[in-house]
Chains A and B, each alone.
Chain A
C-alpha cells in the first residue's frame, strides 16, 4: 500500500496567489520529509528537507521565503508556494525515507 500521500494531486491557480500542498506519511511517523521539484523531462531536484519541530533546510538556490515549509506533526508536512508565478509551474513531490526512500504521488501545479 501507499506509504506517502499528497493533496491536491493537481492545482491550477492564478499568478500571485499562494498554493498549499500537503504531504502525509501513512502508518508511520516521519521526523524528516523531503520536497522535490521536477520540471518536464528533467530529473528530480531536492528543494528542501522538512524537519518536524524545527526549521526546514533549503537547498542552494531555493528561496525559503517563497517556498514555506511547515512540518507540524510527525505525519504531515506542508509546502506553500507563495505569490506563485508561471515559472513555478512544476511537479512537486514529497518523500520520506525508511531505509529506502518512498515518494508521494506528486502534485502538478500550473500557474496561469
Chain B
C-alpha cells in the first residue's frame, strides 16, 4: 500500500462548477498537508498548506483535513478554465534526514468554458 493515494483522473468539469480533489494517506506521522498546482511542463507551485484537522480557506480554494480518517480534500469554487492543471497533494513528516515530503500522483483537472 502506498503512503499517499490520489485518483489521477482526469476530471473534467464545466466552468463555474465546484471541484473536489481528494487524497488518502496511511501514515499517521504526517504533519503538514499541502496542495500543489502544476501546469503542463512546469514545476509545482504551492497553493495551500494546513497543519491541523479542519478547513482553511483562501479565495476560491478550501483545504480540508480529517486526520481521524486520514483524508484530505481541496475544493475549488467557481472553477475557471485557468484552473485546468494537475493538482498534487503532499505531506511531510520528520525522519532522520530532516523533513520528508511525500507526493500523491496528482489529479488532472480540465475546466471547460
Contacts and interface: CB of A to CB of B under 8 A. Distances in A.
Interface of A: 4, 6, 41-46, 49, 57, 91, 93, 95, 97, 100-106, 108
Given A49-B97, A108-B41, A42 B46 contact: no
Interface in B8-42: 8, 34, 36, 41-42
A44 B88 contact: yes
B94 interface: no
A43 B105 contact: yes
Q: Which 8 A-B pairs rank lowest in CB-CB distance, beginning with the nearest?
A: A103-B43, A43-B103, A43-B105, A106-B43, A44-B103, A105-B43, A103-B44, A93-B43
B43 A104 contact: yes
Does more than half of chain A's interface fall in helix, strand or loop, or is it mixed?
A: strand
Nearest to A93: B43
Contacts of A91: 41
Interface string B71-109: 000000000000000001000000001011101111000
B45 interface: yes
Contacts, number: 43
A41 B4 CA distance: 15
B42 A105 contact: yes
A101 B88 contact: no
B45 A103 contact: yes
Contacts of A93: 43-44
Nearest to A99: B49
A104 B45 CA distance: 9
A104 to B, nearest CB: 5
